[in-house]
């Protein structure tokens, strides 16, 4: 495959970092986003120490105009985006009866609106090129639901609905749109959970362990490749057998 510009939103977290590195290893020019000014400097330095030159652009993925400005800069400075990984996401957990409206709005805007906000900016270029990959990161909890996560589960379920509909719209343009639904992955956030709680989670996973960020990244790299050109509108679960459907 010839080099593509690969944009990964939320690329500085555990899964996002692994995705950025794997796509760079596949020969693509990788770009990621950050929201807080200055946040990118240390992360970018660490990546360079490991041999990865990953471009960073400030963007509020929950804001349509911010996404439009960011993608325009990427296009002007590097070229049109050919691979988009919508990975940005947050949690604001709480029981529905006690959930503040702001917790609902923040999660839906960051986890679901962002998928529209960014994809809308890159789609015309993909159609013009007659090639593109849109890969949306959902969650096991978008498939089965989760206590205390009505906002998160709703947003992540919506991500795959978006994928299925858009996949039908752009299939004839050589663009595939797919969803990945990870289970519990051994990121810093999960490893920071109390050991007894983490052990309870692992006990519910048939393979008996947490997933690795690199495993999700490998799946992203495959979907982004020409070898996956016949797969579109799919939701690939990678959760160690914790939820099967």
Catalytic residues: 152
Beta bridge partners of 134: 84, 177
**Residue 50, burial from CB neighbour count under 10 angstroms (0-12, 13-18, 19+):** exposed
The sheet with strand 29-34 has its strands ordered as 55-58, 29-34, 5-8, 81-86, 132-137, 175-182, 235-238
C-alpha radius of gyration, the chain, whole number: 17
Cα–Cα nearest to 141, from 15, 212, 243, 19 = 243
Cα–Cα nearest to 156, from 100, 74, 226, 237 = 237
Burial 176-207 (b: 16+ CB within 10 A, else e): bbbbbbbbbbbbeeeeeeeeeebeeebeebee
Coil/strand/helix, residue 235? strand
**Residues 214, 22 contacting (CB under 8 angstroms):** yes
Q: What distance in Å separates the CA atoms of residue 199 and residue 135, rounded to the nearest whole number?
A: 31
163: left (phi over 0), alpha (psi -120 to 50) or beta: alpha
Report residue 17 CA to chain centroid gap.
11
């Amino acid at each position: 495959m010839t080099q593509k510009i690969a944009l990964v939103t939320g690329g500085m977290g555990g899964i996002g970092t692994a995705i950025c590195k794997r796509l760079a290893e596949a020969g693509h020019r990788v770009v990621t986003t950050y929201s807080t000014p200055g946040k990118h400097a240390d992360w970018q330095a660490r990546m360079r120490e490991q041999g990865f030159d990953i471009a960073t652009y400030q963007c509020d993925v929950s804001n349509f105009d911010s996404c439009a400005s960011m993608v325009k800069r990427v296009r002007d400075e590097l070229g049109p985006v050919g691979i988009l990984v919508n990975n940005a996401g947050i949690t604001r957990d709480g029981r529905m009866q006690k959930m503040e409206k702001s917790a609902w709005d923040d999660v839906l805007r960051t986890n679901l609106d962002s998928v529209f906000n960014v994809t809308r900016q890159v789609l015309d270029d993909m159609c013009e090129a007659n090639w593109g990959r849109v890969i949306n990161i959902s969650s096991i909890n978008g498939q089965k639901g989760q206590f205390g996560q009505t906002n998160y589960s709703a947003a992540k379920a919506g991500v795959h609905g978006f994928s299925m509909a858009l996949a039908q719209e752009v299939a004839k343009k050589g663009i595939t749109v797919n969803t990945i639904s990870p289970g519990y992955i051994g990121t810093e956030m999960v490893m920071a959970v109390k050991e007894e709680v983490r052990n309870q989670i692992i006990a519910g996973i048939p393979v008996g362990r947490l997933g690795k960020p690199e495993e999700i990244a490998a799946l992203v790299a495959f979907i982004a490749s020409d070898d996956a050109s016949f797969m579109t509108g799919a939701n690939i679960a990678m959760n160690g057998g914790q939820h099967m459907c």
